[in-house]
């Protein structure tokens, strides 16, 4: 069997590579394993921060930062292997450090940080993890080879910061890069989150991009399975900090998992399922710290069983903007104008609802975007008389209820809303997509946790 295993930022820190070694070697040599690693948790943010500070011209801080970065990876080596291999590892880390240093100084001298150079810097944590990680795994007895995303053949478009993987091009180049290693019994250790354009310019895939790297490699290499190792027991029915009796969802379809990824199940990159969907490669979400514990399988089978609702997710820090205007009634194109103005601010719309009376439209967005959306609507549409008024409600949370079984099952929304109403919670706005896989509703932020618990209890998600 050929398996791609991705280890997240909490799975690589500390003595993480010892655990990775244990997990991977348990599956060798009967299987071929490709390892994908993230940066140590927190490092990507520090790299981005360092790039911004370099632009502001603080030379001393660059050197200090680079030393800290090398130290944090040396710590991994020491914890996993003891002191005896530190010198050798330091050689590897120093070389990477020198490359990064050159780029940071370049940014400093130019006083300019382009999306392109930011990506180069931001992806370096994964490069460190891959190269140093492969070193540790080799000393522990695996024939590991460290590769950057670029070296592994991940080809992307040039949307820096949120690049999309070109799957056909990646299939072509990743096979050439990785298959010979697998055939020779080696374990490729690939830095996640990064790739390169066709011209070889480094790009990054957006937050959680290592999942996306893993599934893309899975599809490119015709893997049998993709395993995403993180620090939670798979995908949960709800956030266990809110709902103490939340459980691991044993199975999800690609569609359900994709819905959940978008509405905030932190275990998954929203685009991560695209590559494996058509090929039908199952994705396992597992916990490095509890490798024999419960896990989630995401696959193509859409089982509509007794569990109509699979999970409840919460998006905090949202706001609602409602636009009113008598002229909207029966005036085609007003909705389009509103959306165009919202879109022009670069804001992502999370929910949208319009009553049949057409007298108002409500839009839910992230709270951080509220101000710019509000002012754009006032400036562009209220001032010109297209709208009468715009009202803002901040301090809102969105509860998303997901499950393929909701489709065609009558009474699901009745059950949701009566459960919420019984706890005295007022629902501000409701939206359901035509897929009927997801009902989302907005409540006051202070009611959010209780609303999640209400739905979780009503559908008995805490029970096996």
Partner 1 sequence: MRIVLAGYGNVGRSLHRMLEERRRELLRRYSMDAIVVAVIDRGGAAVHWKGVPYSEAAAAKDSEGTVAAGVHGRRGVTVLDLLDEVEADVYVDTTLPNFTDGQPSLSYMERAISRRMHVVTSNKAPMALAMPALLEVAEQKGVRLLYSGTVGGGTPFLGMASEALRGNRIRAIRGVLNGTTNYVLHRMETEGVSLEEALREARRLGYAEADPRIDLSGLDSAAKLVILANHAMGSNYTLSDVRYSGLEGVTPGDLREAAKRGKALRLLADSRRLRVGLEEVDSRSPLNVPANLNSVEFEVEELGSIYLIGRGAGGPETAAAIMRDLVQLNAAQPRR
Of the two residues 46 and 157, which places its CB atom closer to partner 1 in the complex?
157
| CA pseudo-torsion sign 444, 447, 452, 456 | negative
If you search the block for the tokens 């710590």, which residue do you land on? 75
395: left (phi over 0), alpha (psi -120 to 50) or beta: left
Tokens representing 429 are 């706005």
Nearest Cα to Cα of residue 447 among 385, 397, 407? 397
Shortest reach from residue 279's CB to partner 1, in Å:
11
Q: What are φ and ψ of residue 305, in 5° steps?
A: -100, -155
Shortest reach from residue 163's CB to partner 1, in Å:
11
Q: How far apart are CA 162 and CA 164, in angstroms?
A: 7
Question: Residue 166: which residues within 8 A CB-CB, separation 6 or more?
Answer: 155, 156, 157, 198
Nearest Cα to Cα of residue 339 among 331, 330, 348? 348
Instruction: Kindly list the residues in this chain that would bind partner 1 in the complex (CB under 8 A).
Output: 155, 157, 166-169, 171-173, 198-199
314: number of Cβ within 10 Å: 20
Shortest reach from residue 176's CB to partner 1, in Å:
9
Which strands make up the sheet holding 360-366, listed edge to edge?
349-354, 360-366, 311-324, 389-402, 438-444, 427-432
Shortest reach from residue 61's CB to partner 1, in Å:
36
Of the two residues 89 and 155, which places its CB atom closer to partner 1 in the complex?
155
């Amino acid at each position: 069997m050929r398996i791609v295993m991705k280890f997240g930022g909490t799975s690589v820190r500390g003595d993480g590579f010892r655990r990775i070694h244990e997990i991977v070697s348990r599956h060798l040599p009967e299987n071929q394993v490709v390892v994908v690693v993230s940066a140590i948790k927190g490092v990507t943010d520090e790299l981005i921060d360092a790039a911004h500070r370099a632009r502001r011209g603080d030379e001393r801080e660059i050197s200090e930062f680079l030393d800290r970065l090398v130290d944090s990876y040396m710590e991994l080596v020491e914890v996993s292997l003891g002191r005896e291999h530190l010198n050798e590892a330091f050689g590897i880390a120093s070389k990477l450090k020198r490359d990064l240093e050159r780029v940071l100084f370049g940014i400093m001298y130019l006083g300019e940080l382009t999306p392109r150079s930011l990506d180069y810097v931001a992806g370096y944590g994964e490069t460190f993890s891959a190269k140093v990680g492969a070193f540790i795994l080799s000393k522990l007895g695996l024939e590991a080879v460290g590769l950057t995303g670029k070296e592994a053949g991940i080809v992307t478009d040039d949307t820096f910061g949120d690049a999309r993987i070109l799957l056909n091009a990646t299939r072509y180049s990743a096979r050439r890069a990785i298959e010979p290693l697998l055939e020779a019994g080696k374990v490729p250790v690939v830095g996640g989150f990064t790739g390169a354009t066709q011209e070889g310019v480094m790009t990054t895939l957006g937050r959680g991009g290592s999942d996306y790297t893993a599934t893309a490699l899975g599809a490119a290499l015709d893997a049998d399975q993709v395993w995403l190792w993180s620090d939670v027991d798979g995908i949960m029915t709800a956030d266990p900090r809110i709902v103490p009796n939340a459980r691991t969802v044993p199975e999800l379809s690609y569609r359900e998992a994709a819905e959940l990824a978008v509405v905030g199940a932190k275990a998954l990159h929203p685009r991560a399922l695209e590559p494996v969907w058509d090929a039908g490669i199952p994705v396992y979400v597992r916990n490095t710290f509890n490798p024999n514990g419960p896990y989630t399988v995401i696959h193509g089978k859409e089982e509509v069983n007794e569990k109509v609702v699979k999970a409840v997710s919460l998006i905090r820090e949202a706001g609602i903007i409602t636009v009113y205007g008598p002229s909207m009634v029966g005036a085609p194109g007003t909705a389009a104008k509103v959306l165009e103005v919202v879109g022009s601010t670069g804001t992502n719309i999370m929910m949208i609802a319009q009553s049949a009376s057409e007298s108002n439209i409500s839009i839910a967005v992230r709270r951080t975007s509220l101000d710019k959306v509000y002012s754009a609507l006032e400036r562009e549409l209220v001032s010109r008389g297209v709208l009468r008024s715009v009202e803002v409600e901040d301090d809102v949370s969105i509860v998303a209820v997901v499950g393929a079984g909701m489709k065609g099952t009558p009474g699901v929304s009745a059950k949701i809303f009566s459960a919420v109403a019984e706890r005295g919670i007022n629902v501000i706005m409701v939206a359901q997509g035509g897929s009927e896989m997801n009902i989302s509703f907005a409540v006051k932020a202070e009611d959010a946790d209780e609303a999640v618990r209400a739905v979780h209890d009503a559908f008995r998600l805490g029970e096996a």
